[in-house]
Amino acid sequence: MTLPYTAVLCDLDGTILDSAPGITATLAYTFERIGVPVPSPSGLLEYVGPPILDAFRDLAGLTPEQSAEALEIYRARYLDQGTTDSRVYSGMPEVLRAIRDSPMRMSLATSKPELPATLMLEHFVLAGCFDVITGASADETRSAKADVVAEALRRLRDLGADLERVVMIGDRIHDVEGAAAHGVPTIFVEWGYGSPAESAGASLIVSSAEELREALGL
């Protein structure tokens, strides 16, 4: 049987893990520390997915100096307490293991820095499902999803992966647009943090892990 794809790129927050509790609690702590009003719970959820510095600028209106201070506070707190304050979405471990056991190669493609992303996957015993773990760089110079996708593709190519038919799996418009910048279609998962409007441009929309597995031909 020929699978529909030869390689997979997979987002983390809102796709594999419901990581909002750890992220939003860390954001609330960060805003309190720098003396900025803490957004409402729904407002904090808007920060889940985009690169954190972009969110500090676009959603909180922080200056570059404030953003740098906030980032330092956020990272230290998140590594200490936030990485394990999450849960795996139902059925996703089975999907990831099925991909691992198939001919397809897979890279994580997250705007979260690679250290916390790796720690989270290791915590849930999922890191071994990936050929490559690609995320934002530690200095945030690589954080836009298009840049993360480019790096993930480069790393898979270096492993000799067949990149003839690559697909992105994600839950936000950043995933759809970042993948499209490299000609990669996106399977949009409805259980994440994106609004229905953010699925515009996706090649397929799925509402369960079972539907995702079927879409991957597994």
CATH number, position 14: 3.40.50.1000
Asked if residue 41 belongs to a domain, the reply is: yes
**pLDDT class of 142 with cuts at 50, 70, 90:** confident
Question: Does 30 lie in the same domain as 12?
Answer: no
The span from the CA of 117 to the CA of 107, in Å, is 12
- The DSSP call for residue 127 is G
Asked if residue 1 belongs to a domain, the reply is: no
Q: Which domain holds residue 127?
A: 7-18+87-215
Question: Does 199 lie in the same domain as 116?
Answer: yes
Question: Does 198 lie in the same domain as 103?
Answer: yes
Give yes or no for residue 10 having a pLDDT over 70. yes
Question: Does 196 lie in the same domain as 108?
Answer: yes
- The per-residue pLDDT for 143 is 81
Contact (Cβ atoms closer than 8 angstroms) between residue 149 and residue 10: no
Which residue in this structure is represented by tokens 């949009």?
A: 188
Question: Does 146 lie in the same domain as 74?
Answer: no
Question: Does 131 lie in the same domain as 167?
Answer: yes
- The per-residue pLDDT for 213 is 98
**pLDDT class of 1 with cuts at 50, 70, 90:** low
- Per the structure block, which two tokens stand in for 216? 């991957």
- Kind of pairing, strands 204-206 and 17-18? unpaired
Question: Does 102 lie in the same domain as 70?
Answer: no
State the total domains in the chain.
Answer: 2
Q: What is the pLDDT of residues 27-78, one digit of tens each?
A: 999 999 999 999 999 999 999 878 889 999 999 999 999 999 999 999 999 9
- The per-residue pLDDT for 29 is 97
Question: Does 152 lie in the same domain as 204?
Answer: yes
The span from the CA of 160 to the CA of 35, in Å, is 49
pTM of the model: 0.91
Give yes or no for residue 26 having a pLDDT over 90. yes
Question: Does 129 lie in the same domain as 62?
Answer: no
Residues contacting 63, CB < 8 A, separation 6+: none
- The per-residue pLDDT for 62 is 95
Mean pLDDT of the chain: 95
- Strand-pairing partners, residue 133, are 108
- The per-residue pLDDT for 138 is 82
Q: What is the pLDDT of residues 149-180, one digit of tens each?
A: 999 999 999 999 999 999 999 999 999 999 99
**Measured between alpha carbons, how far is residue 86 from residues 27, 38, 117, 125, 155 in Å?**
15, 21, 12, 14, 27
CB atoms within 10 A of CB 163: 15
Name the domain boundary from 28, 58, 82.
Answer: 82
Asked if residue 25 belongs to a domain, the reply is: yes
Asked if residue 2 belongs to a domain, the reply is: no
- The per-residue pLDDT for 169 is 98
Contact (Cβ atoms closer than 8 angstroms) between residue 86 and residue 131: no
- The per-residue pLDDT for 139 is 79
- The per-residue pLDDT for 49 is 79
Question: Does 120 lie in the same domain as 172?
Answer: yes
- Per the structure block, which two tokens stand in for 56? 């500090």
Length of the chain: 218
* Closest to 78 (Cα-Cα) out of 125, 112, 49: 112
